[in-house]
Amino acid sequence: MKQDLGLNKDDFMKLFIAQLQYQDPLKPQDASAMLDQLSQMSLVEQSYNSNTALNNLLTAQNNSTTMNSVSFIGKNVKANGNAIAFDGQLHPYLQFSSSVPATSATVTISDASGRIVRTETLGAQTVGDASFSWDGRDTSGALLPAGKYTFSVNETPTSGAPVAATTYTTGRIDGVSFVNGVPMLLIGPVSIALSDVISVNVPASSA
């Protein structure tokens, strides 16, 4: 912080004393000018102390956020997003929410490259939360490899144009990574920002 401000109070005082030592005895420093310099030194000290206090506050906040993110490990979360963490075995539940009643809905699943691997047509949907259990297979029935996938849900309402349902990323947190100092929750290959988390619950087996 001293480098950011250029001078701190100690540097300022050294310059002030040197000025008094080398002033012309026949032309002493004007008293008002000395008061101005002392006032400037006080402002420099206040700025330095304020910035130090702010840095300490930010450090404490970052440490708190880091500890908070670690506490998510082992818990199930629901977050804004459309990512799927498929482990190659368990059937993930794709959760979404409908804003209007729909006569049908189409679930589209894509791999990490954006290639569509599966589409599934669902029946009528009511307003609110719903889910689709994906068996991890593509349209031809072949089991897909473990990895990160994404999905979307487009619905045909009882009246009006097709609408996209709100999708969620869900699963159990198994780790935390840091991107530029910012903690990200991990569900396998899927990263979730803390700000995207909607709900958290402890698995029944861990309660």
Give per-residue pLDDT as tens, 72-84. Answer: 899 999 999 999 9
Host domain of residue 9? 2-70
Enter the tokens of residue 84: 């799927």
* End-of-domain residue from the set 70, 86, 106: 70
41 and 80 in one domain? no
33 and 94 in one domain? no
* End-of-domain residue from the set 50, 70, 90: 70
d(CA 149, CA 141): 17
| CB atoms closer than 10 angstroms to residue 4 | 8
Q: Give the count of domains, the chain.
A: 2
168 and 115 in one domain? yes
Average pLDDT score over residue span 150-166? 92
80 and 30 in one domain? no
51 and 99 in one domain? no
Enter the tokens of residue 156: 């045909």
Enter the tokens of residue 116: 């569509």
d(CA 128, CA 121): 18
59 and 152 in one domain? no
143 and 81 in one domain? yes
Nearest to 154 by CA among 81, 115, 196, 96: 96
Model confidence over 3-61: pLDDT tens digits? 444 555 666 667 667 666 666 555 555 555 555 655 665 666 666 666 666 655 555 55
* End-of-domain residue from the set 17, 42, 70: 70
Nearest to 193 by CA among 202, 201, 178, 183: 183
Query: What secondary structure does DSSP assign to 160-199, as a single string?
Result: SS-EEPEEEEEEE--EEEEETTEEEEEETTEEEEGGGEEE
pLDDT of the residue at 69 = 80
pLDDT of the residue at 1 = 43
Q: Could you tell me if 92 and 189 are in contact, meaning their C-beta atoms sit under 8 angstroms apart?
A: no
188 and 99 in one domain? yes
8 and 60 in one domain? yes
Using a cut of 0.75, tell me whether the model's pTM lies above it: no
Residue type, 88: G
Q: ∠ CA(45), CA(51), CA(54), 5° rounding?
A: 140
Model confidence over 89-109: pLDDT tens digits? 999 999 999 999 999 999 999
d(CA 24, CA 33): 15
pLDDT of the residue at 2 = 44
